[in-house]
Amino acid sequence: MHGGYLSIIKMIEADIEFEKDAVRIYTEFAEKVHDPQLKELFTEFATSETGHVNGLRRIVQSIKDGEHEVKFYCPVCGWEVSFGKKPEIRDQARCRMCGVIFELVETGGDYDIRRL
């Protein structure tokens, strides 16, 4: 598994399966319904859900390729704290809004931050 993203990848993969089921269901509805407007509506839904599947797959791939930025919301002020795309555990980053410094840690396969 890709360090720091264990829970996120599991959640996204579960969501991909949900979205794939939605594509299948909407496609079946579109095939069975006789009303042209409903057929068009279900077809649009299936197309939309297919876009969700593809988007989620791109996120997983960007994580696997090391191209997904590791960032958190500062627990002090709520601003983004970025550790970049390929951080190492124990890297430090300063919140650009409040100046607090955080260290990147890993807990149970997931990235987390610790205030220094």
> What are the sequence ranges of the domains in the chain?
6-64, 71-115
Residue 94 CA neighbour count, 13 Å, CB half = 4
Mean of the per-residue pLDDT values of the chain: 96
Helix (H) or strand (E) holding 82, with range, is strand 80-82
Instruction: Determine the pLDDT at residue 2.
Output: 64
The C-alpha atoms of residue 102 and residue 87 are separated, in whole angstroms, by 13
Band the pLDDT of 3: cuts 50, 70, 90: confident
- Mean pLDDT, residues 16-22 taken together: 98
Nearest to 59 by CA among 13, 113, 22: 13
The C-alpha atoms of residue 45 and residue 82 are separated, in whole angstroms, by 35
Instruction: Determine the pLDDT at residue 1.
Output: 46
Q: What is the pTM of this model?
A: 0.81
